[in-house]
Homo-oligomer: A and B are copies of this chain.
Amino acid sequence: MYGAVIHAPGDVRYEERPEPTIIEPTDAVIRVVAACVCGSDLWRYRGISPVPNPTPIGHEYCGVVESVGEAVTTVKPGDFVVGGFNPCDNTCAACRKGATANCLNAAHYEGCQAEKLRVPLADGTLVATPEMPTDDLIPSILALSDVMCTGWHAAVSAGVGPGKSVAVVGDGAVGLCAVLAAVQLGAQKVIAMSRHESRQKAATAFGATHIVAERGDEGIAAIQALTDGIGADCVLECVGTEDARLQASGAVRVGGSIGLVGVPHGDLPVEQFFWKNIGIKGGPANCRAYLPHLLELVLNRTINPGIVFDLELPLSEIAEAYAAMDERRAIKSLVRPNAYAKAVSQFG
C-alpha cells in the first residue's frame, strides 16, 4: 500500500509502505477514507523538530474497518470509524476519569496519511457511526480526529459554559474549532482574534459574536472594550508561541482562566498569575472522551467543523498538501486515498 513518508524537512513523499496487519489481538486495520495534515506535522516539515530517519507521518484519519483482532468487540469489518490522534484503551483509571489523552496504556499510530492503517487499542480508540455517512459529512467527521476535539478541549479546560465571555487566540483550524466549541458550550460572547478575512468568515460561520483584528496591546485593549474593561472570562490559546501566551495573559480577566492547547515552551510566571487569580489548564485533547458527543453533533448536522479544510487533494499529492499549509495557502489540507471508492462500494 501507499502512504506519506517524511524524509527530511520539506521532503514528504508518497511511497510504497508495508501493508499494515493485525499484530495485537486488540488491533484493527482500517482502509483510510480521509486523512489530513496537522499544524504539528509542520514542525518536522519546517525543521523545527528533527527527522532522523524516513518516517511515516500523520495522526488524523477516518475510515472503514477491514479486519479486527480477536479481542476486539465494539467495531467490526465494514464499520465506518473515526479515532482520536492519541489511541487509548478507554478503560484504565485515567480514561475512566475522562483523561483519555493520558491513558495509562497509551499507544500510537504509524503514519495515518496512508491507504491503510493499523489502529491499536481499537475498542478504546475507535467510535463507529450508526451507518455509512454521506460523502459531505466526511470532512467534519475527519475534523473530530484532532482539531475539533482540540478546540473543544481548550474550551473545556478553560471552563467555558453558559453566560461566559470567551476570547480565542489563534485563527488556524484549532482556533476556529475552539470558536465553534465555545458557541456550542453556551458562551454568551465569543471573540475570535483574526486578521485574515477568510478565517474571520469561518469564525463568524461558527458563531463568533465578535472579531478582533488587532494584535498585541491594541488587541488586548479591543478585548477589554468588549468585556466591561476587564478582559474575557476564558481565553483559549490555540497557537503555542510566546506571543500567543502573552496575548492570552493580557486578554483574560482577573479570576479568569486560560485554556491551553498550543504546546507551550519555557516557564510560566506563576506568581504574576497568582496575584491576578488567573488559572491555566490544558494539554493534548481527550479525544475519546469527547468523540461520542461531537460525532452525534456532526451526524445530526448541528456542527460542521469540516469547513476548516480549504484544500482537498488525492493522497498521492501529499507533498503539495504540506507545501500549501507551509506557505499558508491553505488553513488545513484534506487528502483522500483512492481506496475510499473501493471501501464504499464494498461496504456502503
Query: A residues engaging B (CB < 8 A)?
Result: 93-94, 96-99, 101-102, 104, 157, 159, 228-230, 233, 253-257, 260, 263-271, 273-284, 286
Q: Are A101 and B255 in contact (CB under 8 A)?
A: yes
The distance in angstroms between the C-alpha atoms of A257 and B281, with both chains bound, is 8
List 13 other contacts, CB 8 Å, given A93-B229, A278-B283. Answer: A93-B230, A98-B255, A101-B255, A159-B159, A264-B274, A266-B270, A266-B271, A268-B268, A268-B270, A274-B283, A277-B282, A278-B281, A280-B281
In the complex, how many angstroms separate the beta carbon of A154 from the nearest chain B beta carbon? 12
Q: With A94-B253, A230-B94, A230-B104 as known contacts, state yes or no: A284 contacts B277, CB within 8 Å.
A: yes
In the complex, how many angstroms separate the beta carbon of A217 from the nearest chain B beta carbon? 19
Q: Across the two chains, which residue of chain B brings its CB closest to A93?
A: B228
Q: Are A97 and B255 in contact (CB under 8 A)?
A: yes
Q: Are A280 and B277 in contact (CB under 8 A)?
A: no
Contacting A233 at CB < 8 Å: which of B97, B228, B229? B97
Copies assembled: 2
Q: Across the two chains, which residue of chain B brings its CB closest to A257?
A: B281
Contacting A279 at CB < 8 Å: which of B230, B276, B279? B279
Residues of the B chain whose Cβ atoms lie less than 8 Å from the Cβ of A230? 93-94, 97, 104
In the complex, how many angstroms separate the beta carbon of A162 from the nearest chain B beta carbon? 14
Q: Across the two chains, which residue of chain B brings its CB closest to A286?
A: B255
Residues of the B chain whose Cβ atoms lie less than 8 Å from the Cβ of A94? 230, 253-255
Contacting A97 at CB < 8 Å: which of B99, B102, B253, B279? B253
Contacting A102 at CB < 8 Å: which of B102, B271, B276? B276
Q: Are A281 and B279 in contact (CB under 8 A)?
A: yes
Q: Are B264 and A101 in contact (CB under 8 A)?
A: no
Pairs A-B, 10 closest by C-beta atoms:
A279-B281, A99-B255, A102-B254, A267-B267, A277-B283, A93-B228, A268-B270, A268-B268, A93-B230, A274-B283
Q: Are B284 and A254 in contact (CB under 8 A)?
A: no
The distance in angstroms between the C-alpha atoms of A12 and B110, with both chains bound, is 68
